[in-house]
C-alpha cells in the first residue's frame, strides 16, 4: 500500500511511495531522486553498482516532474531531508513528464506571474503555492462553520440577471436567447429579497463579476464574495459579525494550517477586536493631513487616501457614516441627518475588504433613492415589489474572499490568491 511521504520516518522499515520527481542529482556512481507528494519530500538514493538493473534503467529514463512509484527499504540518515532515505528495489515510471518543463517547479528559476498562471497546474505543485490554497480552503470551511453555528441559511442565487445591482455600469453582457442578460455583480438584491421571505439570516459564498477595465494588483473581473444579510439588525450588529468572521478565519488558519504557514514562512497574528470604528469625516481628516492630494468631505477615498489612513490606523478598522451621496441607493440614511447613511467599509491597512450597511426597508424611500442616483425604477421592479408586502429592517455586507486571503498572507498580487484568475487580459486557463 502506498503511504504519504510525511508518514515515512527514519524508523519505517519498508515503504511504497508515489510522487513527482522534484529534483534529480546524478553524481555518476550515485544518484539522488527527490520525490514530492502533497505531504512532503523524500530522497530516493540509488547506488548504481548495488541497485537492481531495472531500477537503474527506469531511473535513468525518469525526467523531472514525472510521476513514479518506488518501493524499497528506509534507512535513517542525517544527510537527507527528514532524516531518512529510500533505497529502492522497484522504480516504475507511471507518467513521464516531457522536457523541457514550461515552468521550473523546484523554483530554482524564478518565473513571472503570467508564466505561473499560464501553467497553474505546475505552479501549484510548489508547496508554497499549494499552501495558499490549503489556507483558502480552511478559511472557507471556518466561515461556513461560524455562519452555520450562528443559525444562518446558506443560499445560492442566480449569476445570470437582467439588470445591474450596484449601479448602471461594470456589467458583462451575455447572449441569453432573445433576451438581454448579464453576469451578476453582487447577490445584493437577492439576499435582501430573502429577508422579505422571512429567512432572517442568509449567506452565500460565490463569484461576482465586474467588467471594470482596469488592471490592478487588487481587482479581478471575477471575484469570490462572502455575502451575508440579517433581519432585525443594524449596521453595528453586522460589523460585530464581520469581526467574528475575520477572527474565526485567522484563528482556524493558525490552528489547522501549521505546515502551510511554515511553507509560506508566515507567523500569523490574530487581529484583536473590537476593530476601531472611525467615521468617514474622521477618515477624510486623516487623509487630508497625510497626502498631497486635494481631498474634501464628499469625495471617494482614493487609493492614496486609503493607504495613508491605513498606515495611520495600522490594524483592521471600520469607516462608518458615509455621505449618502457616494454610497449605493440601498444604504439607510440616518433619520436625523439623511445626508449621512448607515454604511461602512471594513479596511485592512492595505485595502478595502468589505462594504456593508443597514438597508432601506421602506418602499417609498428606496424608490426615491433609486431615482436620486439616476437609475430607472423599472429595472428594479422585481426587487422593489417585496418592499410593499412586509419587509423587515435588515443589514448585511459583502466581504471579498480573495482580498481576505491576499491581506492575511501578505501576497503582493490578488491573482496569487485565486487558482484561475480572470482579469482584463486573461480568460484561460
Ligand atoms: P466600489 O464599491 O465603490 O466600486 P470597490 O468595492 O470596488 O469600490 P475598491 O475597488 O477597493 O472598492 O476601490 C477602493 C478605491 O480604490 C476606490 O475608491 C478607488 O479610489 C480606488 N480604485 C478603484 N479602481 C481603481 C483602479 N482601477 N486603479 C486605481 N485605483 C482604483
Ligand atoms: P462592494 O462592491 O464594495 O460591495 O464589494 C464587496 C467586496 O467585494 C470585493 N470586491 C472585489 N475583489 C476583487 N476584485 C474586484 N473587482 C472586486 N469588487 C469587489 C471587495 C469589496 O470590499 N453589495 C455590496 C455589499 C453589501 O453591501 O452587502 C457590494 O457588492 O473586497
Annotated binding site for ATP: 210-212, 218-220, 352, 400-403
The pLDDT of 88-99, averaged and rounded, is 98
Q: By alpha-carbon position, which residue is closest to atom 27 of ligand 1?
A: 214
Pocket test for ligand 1, best of 215, 300, 353 (most atoms within 8 A of CB): 300
Assign 114 a pLDDT band (cuts: 50, 70, 90): very high
Taking the C-alpha atoms of 231, 236, 237 and 242 in order, what is their torsion angle to the nearest 10 degrees?
Answer: 110
250 Rama class: left (phi>0) / alpha (psi -120 to 50) / beta = alpha
**Ligand 2 in reach of 219 Cβ (< 6 A):** yes
347 pLDDT above the threshold of 70: yes
pLDDT attached to residue 214: 85
Assign 107 a pLDDT band (cuts: 50, 70, 90): confident
Radius of gyration, CA atoms only, the chain: 27
61 pLDDT above the threshold of 70: yes
Assign 167 a pLDDT band (cuts: 50, 70, 90): low
115, three cell numbers: 508564466
168 pLDDT above the threshold of 70: no
pLDDT attached to residue 267: 98
- Which-ligand-closest: CA of 287? 1
Task: Kindly give the number of the ligand 1 atom that is closest to the alpha carbon of 215.
Answer: 27
Assign 169 a pLDDT band (cuts: 50, 70, 90): low
Please give the share of the chain, as a percent, with pLDDT higher than 90: 94
pLDDT attached to residue 17: 98
The single residue listed with the C-alpha cell 461556513 is: 144
Please give the share of the chain, as a percent, with pLDDT higher than 70: 99
- Mean pLDDT score of the chain, rounded to an integer? 96
pLDDT attached to residue 108: 86
In angstroms, what CA-CA distances link 190 with 197, 378, 418?
10, 17, 25
The pLDDT of 56-72, averaged and rounded, is 98
- Which-ligand-closest: CA of 397? 2
**Ligand 1 in reach of 165 Cβ (< 6 A):** no
The pLDDT of 237-246, averaged and rounded, is 99
297 pLDDT above the threshold of 80: yes
Annotated binding site: 166, 210-212, 218-220, 352, 355, 359, 400-403
Assign 365 a pLDDT band (cuts: 50, 70, 90): very high
Assign 246 a pLDDT band (cuts: 50, 70, 90): very high
pLDDT in tens, 199-234: 999 999 999 999 988 899 999 999 999 999 999 999
Shortest CA distance to 23 belongs to which of 33, 31, 10? 33
- Which-ligand-closest: CA of 192? 2
Residue 273 near residue 258, CB atoms below 8 Å? no
Pocket test for ligand 1, best of 164, 220, 280, 303 (most atoms within 8 A of CB): 303
List, edge to edge, every strand of the sheet that includes 201-209.
Answer: 153-154, 201-209, 222-231, 394-400, 351-358, 340-348, 317-323, 277-279
Using H for helix, E for strand and C for coil, what is the string for the chain? CECCHHHCCCCCCEEEEEEEEEEEEECCCEEEEEEEECCEEEEEEEECCCCCHHHHHHHHHCCCCCEEEEEEEEEECCCCHHHEEEEEEEEEEEECCCCCCCCCCCCCCCCCHHHHHHCHHHHCCCHHHHHHHHHHHHHHHHHHHHHHHCCCEECCCCCEECCCCCCCCCCEEEEECCEEEEECCCCHHHHHHHHHCCCCEEEEEEEEECCCCCCCCCCCCEEEEEEEEEECCCHHHHHHHHHHHHHHHHHHHHHHCHHHHHHHCCCCCCCCCCCCEEEHHHHHHHHHHHCCCCCCCCCCCCHHHHHHHHHHHCCCEEEEEEEHHHCCCCECECCCCCCEEEEEEEEECCEEEEEEEEECCCHHHHHHHHHHCCCCHHHHHHHHHHHHCCCCCEEEEEEEHHHHHHHHCCCCCHHHHCCCCCECCECCC
Annotated binding site for L-aspartate: 166, 210, 355, 359
Give the Å distance between the CA of 211 and the centre of ligand 2: 13
Q: By alpha-carbon position, which residue is closest to atom 19 of ligand 2?
A: 400
Give the Å distance between the CA of 355 and the centre of ligand 2: 6
pLDDT in tens, 19-44: 999 999 999 999 999 999 999 999 99
The pLDDT of 141-168, averaged and rounded, is 92
pLDDT attached to residue 379: 83
Task: Kindly give the number of the ligand 2 atom that is closest to the alpha carbon of 219.
Answer: 14
Residue 309 near residue 318, CB atoms below 8 Å? no
Taking the C-alpha atoms of 160, 165, 167 and 168 in order, what is their torsion angle to the nearest 10 degrees?
Answer: 20
**Ligand 2 in reach of 361 Cβ (< 6 A):** no
Residue 222 near residue 208, CB atoms below 8 Å? yes
Assign 194 a pLDDT band (cuts: 50, 70, 90): very high
94, three cell numbers: 507511471
List, edge to edge, every strand of the sheet that includes 160-161.
Answer: 160-161, 179-183, 172-176
269, three cell numbers: 497574528
- Which-ligand-closest: CA of 210? 2
Pocket test for ligand 1, best of 299, 302, 353, 397 (most atoms within 8 A of CB): 302
Task: Kindly give the number of the ligand 1 atom that is closest to the alpha carbon of 345.
Answer: 6
Amino acid at each position: 500500500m502506498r503511504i504519504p511521504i510525511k508518514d515515512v520516518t527514519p524508523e519505517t522499515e519498508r515503504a511504497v511511495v508515489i510522487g513527482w520527481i522534484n529534483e534529480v542529482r546524478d553524481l555518476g556512481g550515485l544518484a539522488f531522486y527527490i520525490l514530492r507528494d502533497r505531504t512532503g519530500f523524500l530522497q530516493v538514493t540509488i547506488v548504481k553498482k548495488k541497485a537492481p538493473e531495472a531500477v537503474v534503467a527506469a531511473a535513468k529514463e525518469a525526467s523531472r516532474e514525472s510521476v513514479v512509484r518506488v518501493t524499497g527499504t528506509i534507512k535513517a540518515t542525517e544527510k537527507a531531508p527528514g532524516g531518512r532515505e529510500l533505497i529502492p528495489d522497484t522504480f516504475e515510471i507511471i507518467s513521464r513528464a516531457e522536457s523541457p518543463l514550461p515552468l521550473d517547479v523546484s523554483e530554482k528559476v524564478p518565473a513571472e506571474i503570467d508564466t505561473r498562471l499560464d501553467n497553474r497546474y505546475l505552479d501549484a505543485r510548489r508547496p508554497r503555492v499549494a499552501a495558499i490554497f490549503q489556507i483558502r480552503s480552511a478559511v472557507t470551511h471556518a466561515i461556513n462553520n461560524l455562519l452555520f453555528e450562528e443559525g444562518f441559511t446558506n443560499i445560492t442565487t442566480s449569476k445570470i440577471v437582467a439588470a445591474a445591482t450596484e449601479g448602471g455600469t461594470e456589467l458583462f453582457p451575455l447572449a441569453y436567447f432573445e433576451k438581454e442578460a448579464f453576469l451578476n455583480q453582487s447577490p445584493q438584491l437577492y439576499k435582501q429579497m430573502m429577508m422579505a421571505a422571512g429567512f432572517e439570516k442568509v449567506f452565500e459564498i460565490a463569484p461576482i463579476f465586474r467588467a471594470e477595465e482596469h488592471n490592478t494588483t487588487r481587482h479581478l473581473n471575477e471575484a469570490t464574495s462572502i455575502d451575508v444579510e440579517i433581519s432585525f439588525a443594524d449596521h453595528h450588529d453586522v460589523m460585530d459579525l464581520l469581526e467574528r468572521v475575520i477572527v474565526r478565519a485567522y484563528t482556524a488558519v493558525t490552528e489547522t494550517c501549521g505546515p502551510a504557514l511554515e511553507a509560506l514562512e508566515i507567523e500569523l497574528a490574530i487581529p484583536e477586536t473590537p476593530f476601531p470604528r472611525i467615521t468617514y469625516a474622521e477618515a477624510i481628516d486623516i487623509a487630508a493631513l497625510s497626502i498631497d492630494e486635494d481631498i474634501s468631505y464628499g469625495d471617494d477615498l482614493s487609493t492614496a487616501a486609503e493607504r495613508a489612513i491605513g498606515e495611520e490606523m495600522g490594524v483592521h478598522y471600520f469607516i462608518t457614516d458615509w455621505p449618502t451621496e457616494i454610497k449605493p441607493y440601498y444604504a439607510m440614511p440616518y433619520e436625523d441627518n439623511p445626508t449621512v447613511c448607515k454604511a461602512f467599509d471594513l479596511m485592512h491597512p492595505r485595502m478595502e475588504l468589505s462594504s456593508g450597511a443597514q438597508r432601506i426597508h421602506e418602499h417609498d424611500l428606496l424608490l426615491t433613492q433609486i431615482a436620486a442616483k439616476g437609475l430607472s425604477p423599472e429595472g428594479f421592479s422585481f426587487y422593489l415589489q417585496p418592499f410593499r408586502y412586509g419587509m423587515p429592517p435588515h443589514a448585511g455586507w459583502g466581504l471579498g474572499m480573495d482580498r481576505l486571503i491576499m491581506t492575511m498572507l501578505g501576497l503582493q498580487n490578488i491573482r496569487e490568491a485565486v487558482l484561475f484568475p480572470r482579469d482584463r487580459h486573461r480568460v484561460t486557463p
